[in-house]
Amino acid sequence: MILLVLPSCRHKDDPVETSTYLSGVLSFTMPTYVLPGEELTLVPGGAVNPTGSVGYSWSTSWTSKTDTTKTETGTGDGSWTVTVPSAIGSYTIYCNAFASEYISLSATKDFYVIDPTYGETLTGVSYQVDSTVLEDPRDGGVYYLVTTGDKVWTQNNLYYKESGVSYDYSPAVDALFGRLYTWEEAMEACPEGWHLPSDAEFAELAGSYVEGSAFESGQVFNEAAGVLMANASFLGDRMWTFWPNVNITDESKFSAIPIGYAVDYEGTLRFTGVKDYSVFWTSDEEEDFGIYRYIYVDKSNVFVGKGDKKSFRASVRCVKD
């Protein structure tokens, strides 16, 4: 963006126009993904008037209305309650902080209204929605099941609400993406009668669908990524970017989707690797590290890694005892 400053003529007695911005950085927080018609209360912060107070106004991409929630001399924090649209799609909310004799500050947030029902916002997964399901008695979570050999696996990621964190702090996508857990949480997260799979159980699963392979724990699973990956789309966008060397078949109906992982860095969670990585904890461990299996978008193999038990967060699948 190029800003052009043009000269203008001004009489001696004309008032001087201010060109001083309010101090600070205006911001507000909200989930990236929300449910249709969900009501949100947004609280602005960060804008400072060095000589007085700040007022706030709000607007959206789906209406032409501007709502002033606080005048410069008014009371309150300028918070705003809004009901998001019912239609699935992408939207924007705008906040403006203002004060007389100062140039205002603005902040915007893009968000998505999603439908948590499979086949709507998330498509292309191989969940057997017409088959037997596991309903978690603790919170009502529903998990689709697939049998491989003598093992029964959950097909969708665990989203037990009393543990882990929502992807990008957005509970609306829990049922679609699952939640992200530390290794210590993952070891306790599966419902009664189910457990976090060992690396050997992952090896057995992958080996069942790669001809001539008998994978072992700790090995790279060569050419096994495609049989575990779902050719999924989210809000119409393909989740795994196309790479010709990765043949996505989801033959196993494991239906891995790339929601990445999270790392707790000095008390702040950083969500990383969406559309690039799918990462799953195993029950194996090595001192302070838990062992995980991961798929990378442009590789045909399933790799093994290790993450700190307390700060690294990954997805969880469960296997029946």
Kindly report the average pLDDT of the chain as a whole number: 92
Q: Report pLDDT for 266.
A: 84
**Is residue 50 scored above 50 in pLDDT?**
yes
Beta bridge partners of 107: 95
pLDDT grade for 204, boundaries at 50, 70 and 90: very high
The C-alpha angle 108, 113, 119, rounded to 5 degrees, equals 150
> φ and ψ at 307, to 5 degrees?
-135, 155
Instruction: Look at residue 302 and give its three-state secondary structure.
Output: strand
Query: Mean pLDDT over residues 253-266, rounded?
Result: 95
- DSSP class per residue in 274-285: TTTEEEEEEEEE
Q: Which domains does the chain have, with CATH numbers?
A: 23-113 (2.60.40.730), 122-320 (no CATH)
Q: Strands 33-34 and 105-113, how do they pair?
A: parallel
Q: Report pLDDT for 118.
A: 86
Place of tokens 């009501």: 39
Place of tokens 């001004």: 10
Q: Report pLDDT for 166.
A: 97
**Residue 134, number of CB atoms within 10 A of its CB:** 20
Q: Report pLDDT for 131.
A: 72
Q: Report pLDDT for 13.
A: 46
Q: Report pLDDT for 46.
A: 97
> φ and ψ at 205, to 5 degrees?
-60, -55
**Is residue 229 scored above 90 in pLDDT?**
yes
Q: Which of 173, 169, 179, 174 shows the shortest CA–CA distance to 109? A: 169
Q: Which of 205, 217, 294 shows the shortest CA–CA distance to 250? A: 205
**Residue 252, number of CB atoms within 10 A of its CB:** 22
Query: Mean pLDDT over residues 132-146, rounded?
Result: 94
Q: Report pLDDT for 130.
A: 67
Indicate the residue type of 6: L
pLDDT in tens, 4-42: 333 333 444 444 455 699 999 999 999 999 999 999 999
pLDDT in tens, 188-197: 999 999 999 9
> φ and ψ at 153, to 5 degrees?
-110, 150
Q: Are 63 and 104 in contact (CB under 8 A)?
A: no
Separation of alpha carbons 228 and 10, rounded Å? 70
**Is residue 315 scored above 50 in pLDDT?**
yes
Separation of alpha carbons 55 and 46, rounded Å? 12
Q: Report pLDDT for 62.
A: 97
pLDDT in tens, 269-287: 999 999 999 999 999 999 9
Q: Are 60 and 16 in contact (CB under 8 A)?
A: no
**Residue 242, number of CB atoms within 10 A of its CB:** 10
**Residue 145, number of CB atoms within 10 A of its CB:** 18
pLDDT in tens, 73-99: 999 999 999 999 999 999 999 999 999
- For residues 8 and 172, which has the higher predicted lDDT (pLDDT)? 172
Residue 224 CA, chain-centre distance (Å), reads 25
How many helices and strands (H and E) does the chain possess?
4, 25
